[in-house]
Structure 1
């Protein structure tokens, strides 16, 4: 999705994954998710939430963790 917008806009990303090398990337703690750092210093025109587990088997094994990461943590802010 970032490639779609990055041709004409500055794109920022955040995730719980650490394997990104991007100056506009925010790493989010899976246990104590805090999205304030994403919004404190920037005024965005648009925010797209693409929450979702990359691994269906993992989300089936740990449904509460998956729900917390993808729903509750986002709704806190």
Structure 2
């Protein structure tokens, strides 16, 4: 599955996952967790990453690495 970022306006960007079910996520501005997840999406196209981006502000992370990042002090914008 290929991913792409679509500019929705000058301040936000939207990631769109193709496939049987389309999945969209917009990383929160200034959120270190969302920024890391966005980078992972473009590296591996893992749809779980998009689900976690939509889980902002990550109070109950679905991915263990997000819990680790939060424990390390990564910011949530």
Pairwise TM-score range, normalised by the shorter structure = under 0.3
Q: What is the TM-score with the length of structure 1 in the denominator?
A: 0.25
Larger radius of gyration: 1
Q: Please report the TM-score for the alignment, with normalisation by the length of structure 2.
A: 0.25
- Structure with a larger share of its residues in strand: 2
